[in-house]
Amino acid sequence: MPPLAALLRPQNLDDFIGQEHLVGVGKPLRTLIDQGGIFSILFWGPPGVGKTTLARIIAQKTSRDFYEVSAVSAGKSEIKEIITAAQSQQKGLLSNYLAPVLFVDEIHRFNKAQQDFLLPYVENGTIILIGATTENPSFEVIPALLSRCRVFVLNQLSEEELLSVIDRAITYWNTDHPTAKISASSSTRSWLVSYANGDARQLLTLIDNSLELYGNLKSDSLKNALQSFLRYDKKGEGHYDTISAFIKSMRASNADAALYYLARMVESGEDPKFIARRMIIFASEDIGLAQPTALVVANAVFSAVEKIGYPEAQINLAHGVAYLCGCKKDRSAYDAYFAALADVKKMGNLPIPLEIRNAPTKLMTELGYGEGYEAYSTKSLLPEKLKNKKYIQ
């Protein structure tokens, strides 16, 4: 029997939960689909928010063949077969040809050569490419391919949206099992929403496991099902839990734990650039001013990983992790910046003191722009309302 997430996959936008900024009335994707239009698209967003579902709905509503591949496992030969079939159809139908939708999940896992291979067929209309990625496409998709696609950003599902997913799962189960109906208490629902962390697929997988094992959604059943699920987690389903444990271990300067979680990610096939990118962020966020060279080392690790790839790149990652764990930690620059950002959001664009404004014209000079400026002044240069504020100590 298919998993619950597959059984509940929406077939049209009216049943789709979330992404109102894209699929609500008058919003871009809704308008595109309703008008029967289509172009190559990149969906960027976290797991379990509807990227694959939207691709399928677009193909179905525009009456196009749909090919789905994963960049983790698909080789050039598989893509070539799809394109060859499309070209054959294109020659036969000519002006009546409807390019099929090629959906590439985790398109950021394709290397440059694989992305280059797709480019001419996207450009000449042989295929309509819809790619899904959890990583910023500006970094992971080659510029030529990126420029030929429209990027849509998908958000984590809200608490209310996840509660709707729970309701839908319960309704489906009770309709299919009229003699063994289930329910979920408000506390159980809250626990499920917290566990899901915006990911509908993760939520439905846990519900499915609990119902399969215990036939109910009681708290103890869900927690036991979760332990069973994680024990057999060989495909990286604990992606965000593991990266969180990895970062927190480095923050605690616990190299043993950090290397263990690194090994788990490597063994599950995690993208080495994803790990290295988090290390770069960590070098500024958690080490910061205590050891500025940490950022240099983290960038060097990323560069090495990019050039070498698996399996040898795991050695570069381990080297970098051990170094970052051994560094002193200082979050003062990180904390100071976000304190300043909070004031910007709260107070808007406060007037900049005249003495540090640019004065490129005579009129501006006459108005006092730049007047009294001292290169090494020790007085506050913040706007008047913030002049006594200290962000960094």
Q: Among 197, 212, 231, which residue terminates a domain?
A: 231
pTM here is 0.66
Q: Is the pLDDT of residue 92 over 80?
A: no
Q: From CA 339, how far away is CA 355, in angstroms rounded?
A: 24
Confirm whether 282 is domain-assigned: yes
Confirm whether 333 is domain-assigned: no
Are 373 and 318 within one domain? no
Residue 179 has a CB neighbour count (10 Å cut-off) of: 4
Are 263 and 320 within one domain? yes
Are 32 and 96 within one domain? yes
66 phi and psi angles, rounded to 5 deg: -125, 120
Are 55 and 27 within one domain? yes
Are 190 and 297 within one domain? no
The residues that bridge with 69 in the sheet, in sequence order, are 104
pLDDT-wise least confident of 31-40, 130-139, 355-364: 355-364
Report the CATH number that the domain containing residue 269 is assigned in CATH.
Answer: 1.20.272.10
CB 327 within 8 A of CB 294: yes
DSSP string, 317-332: HHHHHHHHHHS----H
Report the CATH number that the domain containing residue 99 is assigned in CATH.
Answer: 3.40.50.300
Q: Which tens digit of pLDDT belongs to each residue from 235-246?
A: 444 677 788 899
Are 223 and 245 within one domain? no
Token digits of residue 374: 């001292």
Are 117 and 182 within one domain? no
Confirm whether 28 is domain-assigned: yes
Are 89 and 109 within one domain? yes
Report the CATH number that the domain containing residue 186 is assigned in CATH.
Answer: 1.10.8
172 phi and psi angles, rounded to 5 deg: -60, -45
Are 149 and 33 within one domain? yes
Number of structural domains the chain divides into: 4
Are 187 and 119 within one domain? no
Q: Is the pLDDT of residue 149 over 90?
A: yes
Q: Among 231, 250, 275, which residue terminates a domain?
A: 231
Are 37 and 147 within one domain? yes
Q: From CA 41, how far away is CA 248, in angstroms rounded?
A: 35
Residue 95 has a CB neighbour count (10 Å cut-off) of: 4
Confirm whether 98 is domain-assigned: yes
Q: Is the pLDDT of residue 392 over 70?
A: yes
Q: From CA 278, how far away is CA 296, in angstroms rounded?
A: 14
CA distances from 331 to 323, 337, 341 (A): 17, 10, 15
In this prediction, residue 357 carries a pLDDT of 77
Q: Is the pLDDT of residue 234 over 60?
A: no
The whole-chain average pLDDT of the chain stands at 89
In this prediction, residue 230 carries a pLDDT of 57
Confirm whether 270 is domain-assigned: yes
Q: From CA 119, how far away is CA 9, in angstroms rounded?
A: 30
Confirm whether 337 is domain-assigned: no
Percentage of the residues of the chain whose pLDDT score is greater than 90: 60
Confirm whether 14 is domain-assigned: no
- Phi-psi region at 378: left, alpha or beta (left = phi > 0; alpha = psi -120 to 50): alpha
In this prediction, residue 350 carries a pLDDT of 87
Task: State the residue range of the domain holding 275.
Answer: 239-326
171 phi and psi angles, rounded to 5 deg: -60, -45
Confirm whether 13 is domain-assigned: no
Q: Which tens digit of pLDDT belongs to each residue from 259-310?
A: 999 998 888 778 899 899 999 999 999 999 999 999 999 999 999 998 888 8
DSSP string, 131-183: EEESS-HHHHS-HHHHTTSEEEE--PPPHHHHHHHHHHHHHHHHHH-TTS---
Token digits of residue 362: 């005579």
Are 246 and 304 within one domain? yes
